Amino acid sequence: MGLSVRRQEAELVAPAKPTPTESKELSDIDDQGTLRIQVPAIMAYKSTPSMEGKDPARMIKEALARALVYYYPLAGRLREGHNRKLIVDCTGEGVLFIEADAAATLEELGEGLLPPCPLLDELLFDVPGSQGITGCPVLLFQVTRLTCGGFILGIRYNHTMCDIFGLVQLLNATIDMAGGAHFPSTQPLWRRELFKARNPPFITRVHHEFEEGDTKRRVVTLQQDNTNQVLVQKSFSFGPKAMQAIRNHLPAHLHSTCTNFELLSAYLWRCRTIALQPNPDDTVRVTCIVSLRSNNCVPLPSGYYGNALALPAVATKAKPLCESSLEYALKLVKEAKAKMNEEYLRSVVDYMVLKGRPNCIEHLNWIVADTAHCGIEKVDFGWELPVYSGVVRSFPVISNFGRLKKGSENVITVPMCLAMPIMSRFEHEVLRMTTETMVSDLVYVKPPTIRSML
């Protein structure tokens, strides 16, 4: 659907009080190449009688300014130092904020809010010159008021400064300030030295996620080249029937041995690899983003809002992955997640310093994350819980799993970003592998195409 949005000029929201002027190094997890991205998320709120007459944009903007007094590094600007080390200069310049009004109700927006959110460009305006990792605001907010009394909060965050859990911590501090608190209920903690390389650094684990790839065959396999190959984003939604249909591909004794995330990651990794049509002896990978906040292999102090994650991967040849049963892929996904422990994390940190903070390998790799239970679904500014919340776009090799309610059912959403012919083959493979009970339960949300910037 088309959406008419009237936006005010973007403005900078600075901390409400003077803050320290200083420079702080990011951790050696924060500034790895793969996290040097801007991540968009949205939160949709319906009208609530108790908040009638209150302006969500004004309330959030004023409370955010007060919260930034405590989260003042987020109001600064990043720069790159020696060996690509990222440093934030705490200048107090502020974060970008946009007020907007849309001539639509929440009900009319409907599935246009779901990943990959074809309305995103209207609900989170890309302020010219703001997309860089260094020298730019690290946060962008847009509050779009709706005619029904609800609103959409769009946020874009620089992943090097915080993960989504850290973003949620800032949002909860903003709620505290909006409620009249003098300080956040959870005191923010910088402490990025917690994930600083050892002296001397040394790599003790195999890191398939960062290995050199065969770039000679990358154009052929991924169909992303210098001619701006068209990419398409689509979202795949899996309800209970769909998940049971996939689980039925496993031997009965394995049905209760894996999580939905593990099962769906294995299933879609296999489908995606078949769609990419690699050579049988090509090395393929799956990389699982594992949060320390759920893994607990390294205790985190309360209030830490930096990145607390690693990206363990496994590798195999294309032929056994594509020709073996789903059980083979599932075993590898579980193996990747099981790698995560304190020594693995320390080895990653040292790898970053010794190898120049590389990106994860892109060639025949798929990076998956489960952001369904990160807390963003519980952020309540007074308009009750969001009817939808989460990361709404995928990247060419990264997908964030989300959750949504369809009636009484919990549905898993998986956005994918692939070149057009590969996406067609992927859709065909997903359907080919499933039973008829799944076909009626699988939903595709089709946005406009985008052009590859790789």
Spatial separation of the C-alpha atoms in residues 404 and 388, rounded to whole Å: 7
Structure confidence at residue 402 (pLDDT): 87
Q: How confident is the model at residue 451 (pLDDT cuts 50, 70, 90)?
A: very low
Spatial separation of the C-alpha atoms in residues 405 and 434, rounded to whole Å: 22
pTM of the entire predicted model: 0.90
Average pLDDT on 79-100 reads: 97
Mean model confidence pLDDT for the chain: 90
More confident residue, 303 or 213: 303
Average pLDDT on 230-256 reads: 91
Structure confidence at residue 174 (pLDDT): 98
Give the percent of the chain with pLDDT over 70.
91
Spatial separation of the C-alpha atoms in residues 109 and 130, rounded to whole Å: 27
Q: What is the dihedral of CA 214, 353, 357, 299, to 10 degrees?
A: 110
Q: How confident is the model at residue 215 (pLDDT cuts 50, 70, 90)?
A: very low
Spatial separation of the C-alpha atoms in residues 367 and 14, rounded to whole Å: 35
Token duo for residue 306? 């930096």
Structure confidence at residue 396 (pLDDT): 87
User: At residue 439, does pLDDT exceed 80?
Assistant: no
Q: How confident is the model at residue 435 (pLDDT cuts 50, 70, 90)?
A: low
- Contact of 353 with 28, CB cutoff 8 Å: yes
Q: What is the pLDDT of residues 388-400, one digit of tens each?
A: 898 988 888 999 9
More confident residue, 193 or 372: 193
Average pLDDT on 95-102 reads: 98
Q: What is the pLDDT of residues 13-53, one digit of tens each?
A: 999 999 999 999 999 999 999 999 999 999 999 999 999 99
Q: ∠ CA 324-327-332 to the nearest 5 degrees?
A: 95
Q: Kindly list the catalytic residues.
A: 159, 380
Q: How confident is the model at residue 372 (pLDDT cuts 50, 70, 90)?
A: confident
Structure confidence at residue 56 (pLDDT): 98
Structure confidence at residue 219 (pLDDT): 28
Three-class DSSP labels, the chain: CCCCEEECCCEEECCCCCCCCEEEECCCCCCCHHHCCEEEEEEEECCCHHHCCCCHHHHHHHHHHHHCCCCHHHHCEEEECHHHCEEEEECCCCEEEEEEEECCCHHHHHHHHCCCCCCHHHHCCCCCCCCCCCCCCCEEEEEEEECCCCEEEEEEEECCCCCHHHHHHHHHHHHHHHCCCCCCCCCCECCHHHHCCCCCCCCCCCCHHHCCCCHHHHHHHHCCCCCCCEEEEEEEEECHHHHHHHHCCCCHHHCCCCCHHHHHHHHHHHHHHHHHCCCCCCEEEEEECEEHHHHCCCCCCCCECCCCEECCEEEEEHHHHHHCCHHHHHHHHHHHHHCCCHHHHHHHHHHHHHHCCCCCCCCCEEEEEECCCCCHHHCCCCCCCCCEEEECCCECCEEEEEEEEECCEEEEEEEEEEEHHHHHHHHHHHHHCCCHHHHCCEEEECCCCEECCC
Give the percent of the chain with pLDDT over 90.
79
Structure confidence at residue 185 (pLDDT): 96
Beta bridge partners of 23: 89
Q: What is the pLDDT of residues 253-291, one digit of tens each?
A: 999 999 999 999 999 999 999 999 999 999 999 999 999
Amino acid at 91: T
Q: What's the number of CA atoms in the CB half-sphere (13 Å) around residue 423? A: 21
Average pLDDT on 396-424 reads: 89
